[in-house]
């Protein structure tokens, strides 16, 4: 009888279209492992809650065989290898700065025992580092990256392999990660549910280009958390797309995800520092008054209804519509003059889909410090954005209960209709816009 291999799950919590699992299954019986790593204790409760649900669903799909082990992967993985007599550990690549350090350390520890850590594929349509210019250099601009990304193409999805699981209860299991307390219910985070969610969304993809910007409408797939945890693979979505505007726009969003992962792969330090070094000279506010402004932003008490609706949606559901993410980010950076890192950290703490590459490079884009930086004069008007993308005010009324009685689009700029319970605007947007432009102009002038 052949010796088992270990399939170490991290952020590919599914059975279908998981090339690493095919590789493992080809080696014989498979011990399915998830390591509850103390390094993740700092992750936000919403993300941990989704993880727990997704793991539960994964465990169910393998009839309870999933082996949870608590501890540092450099200790836990080699220990399990010795325990079950495995000859190889299979993983799907994890390209984040932490994931790469961890995997290098685990690979080194395993090597001492003559065991290999084999990485097959990744949670991206095209793995980070593999879309390059003809001379091998990485792309720094999205559009040319996306052209080559499309040209490179991607493999067809694989069905779940036939696996002989060798796990709990025959192998000792520590039990799932501890439950975290969140103010909302996750309606299941498993593979089956994600697929049916995608099937329900698929007929709407043709309208995606038009409806994706309307936060009151379910015009987006809402599969961000499933993609973040690898409950679905982007290949599986791309395989269902057809020619057409909405479909192309949706594919582009998946390309953005791959692009930001690629940027972070090549420059891991840009998770928390400016990609564009010249922007280090840009003055930002970090004093006590700045911290108070941040607090109002985080709690959804800015007095700008569209911004407050978004911030409250985030706290209430662990998710925020993409259009609104851009608006609240612009507000934090350009109206409040705070460091983008403060906003990025808050998002990572509260989003179920918090992904370091997409989140932090999205923030850098909004702040004008990242790739394809928006021209500095591109400052979102928090009232105008609401009027344009929430024309009936439905989204604002849904999340800002104080304004529930204000009719139509008047809700975006309540003026005389503003009830006492809702705060007045915390800043004068026109004045802060000028201030932001002044700071950017000053930074540009200083760098010459």
- Residues of the shown chain interacting with DNA in the complex, contacts defined by CB under 7 A: 133-134, 137, 139-145, 147-148, 213, 252-253, 256, 322-323, 326, 362, 365, 372, 374-381, 384-385, 388, 429-430, 433, 441, 444, 448
Cβ nearer to DNA, comparing 197 with 371: 371
CB of 332 to DNA, least distance (A): 15
- The CA distance from 219 to 207, in Å, is 8
Instruction: State the nearest-atom distance from the C-beta of 252 to DNA, in Å.
Output: 7
Report d(CA 24, CA 349) in Å as an integer.
Answer: 34
User: How is residue 429 annotated by DSSP?
Assistant: H
Q: Is the dihedral of CA 205, 206, 211, 212 positive or negative?
A: positive
Phi, psi of 95 (to 5 degrees): -95, 0
Shorter beta-carbon distance to DNA: residue 56 or 443 = 443
Alpha-carbon span 251 to 442, nearest angstrom? 38
Instruction: Name the phi and psi angles at 388, rounded to 5.
Output: -80, -40
Instruction: Rank residues 164 and 378 by Cβ distance to DNA and give the closer one.
Output: 378
Name the minimum Å distance from CB 344 to DNA.
14
State the Cα–Cα distance between residues 49 and 184, nearest whole angstrom.
10
Smallest separation, CB 385 to DNA (Å)? 5
Residues 146 and 263: their CA atoms lie apart, in Å, by 13
Q: Which is nearer to DNA, 34 or 395 (CB)?
A: 395
For CA atoms 12, 18, 24, 25, give the dihedral sign.
Answer: positive
Our CB check for DNA shows the closer of 137 and 187 to be 137
Least CB distance to DNA at residue 442 (A): 11
Query: DSSP readout, 156-205?
Result: PPPPPP---B--TTTS----PPPP---SS-----SHHHHHHHHHHHGGGG
In whole angstroms, the minimum distance from the beta carbon of 270 to DNA comes to 13
Give yes or no for a contact between 54 and 231, defined as CB atoms under 8 angstroms apart.
yes
Give the shortest CB-389-to-DNA separation in angstroms: 9
Residue among 213 and 360 whose Cβ is closer to DNA:
213
Task: Name which of 5 and 213 has its Cβ closer to DNA.
Answer: 213
Which of 93, 27, 14 has its CA nearest to residue 61?
14
């Amino acid at each position: 009888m052949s010796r088992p291999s270990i399939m170490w799950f991290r952020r590919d919590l599914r059975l279908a279209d998981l090339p690493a699992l095919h590789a493992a299954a080809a080696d014989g019986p498979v011990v399915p492992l998830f390591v509850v790593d103390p390094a993740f204790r700092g992750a936000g409760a919403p993300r941990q809650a989704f993880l727990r649900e997704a793991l539960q669903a994964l465990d169910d799909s393998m009839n309870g065989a999933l082996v949870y082990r608590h501890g540092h992967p450099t200790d836990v993985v080699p220990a399990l290898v010795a325990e079950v007599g495995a000859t190889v550990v299979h993983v799907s690549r994890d390209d984040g700065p932490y994931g790469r350090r961890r995997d290098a350390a685990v690979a080194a520890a395993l090597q001492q025992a003559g065991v290999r850590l084999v990485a097959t594929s990744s949670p991206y349509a095209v793995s980070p580092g593999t879309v390059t210019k003809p001379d091998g250099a990485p792309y720094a601009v999205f559009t040319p990256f996306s052209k080559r990304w499309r040209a490179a193409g991607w493999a067809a999805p694989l069905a779940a392999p036939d696996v002989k699981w060798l796990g709990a209860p025959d192998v000792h299991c520590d039990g799932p990660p501890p439950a975290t307390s969140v103010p909302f219910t996750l309606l299941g985070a498993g593979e089956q549910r994600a697929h049916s969610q995608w099937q329900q969304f698929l007929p709407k993809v043709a309208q995606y280009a038009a409806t994706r910007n309307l936060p009151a409408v379910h015009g987006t797939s809402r599969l961000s958390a499933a993609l973040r945890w690898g409950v679905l693979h982007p290949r599986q979505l791309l395989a269902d797309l057809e020619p057409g505007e909405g479909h192309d726009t949706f594919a582009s969003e998946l390309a953005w995800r791959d692009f930001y992962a690629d940027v972070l792969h090549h420059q891991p330090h840009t998770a928390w520092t400016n990609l564009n070094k010249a922007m280090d000279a840009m003055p930002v506010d970090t004093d006590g008054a700045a911290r108070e402004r941040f607090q109002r932003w985080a709690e959804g008490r800015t007095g700008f209804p569209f911004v407050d609706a978004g911030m409250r949606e985030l706290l209430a559901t662990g998710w925020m519509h993409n259009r609104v993410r851009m608006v609240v980010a612009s507000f934090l950076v350009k109206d409040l003059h705070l460091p983008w890192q403060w906003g990025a950290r808050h998002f990572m703490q509260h989003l179920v889909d918090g992904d370091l590459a997409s989140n932090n490079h999205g923030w850098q884009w909004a702040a004008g410090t990242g790739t394809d930086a928006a021209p500095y004069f591109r400052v979102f008007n928090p009232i105008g954005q609401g009027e344009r993308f929430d024309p009936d005010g439905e989204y604002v009324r849904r999340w800002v209960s104080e304004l529930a009685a204000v009719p139509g689009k008047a809700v975006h700029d309540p003026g005389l209709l503003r009830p006492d319970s809702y705060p007045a605007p915390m800043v004068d947007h026109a004045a802060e816009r000028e201030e932001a432009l002044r700071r950017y102009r000053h930074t540009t002038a200083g760098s010459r």
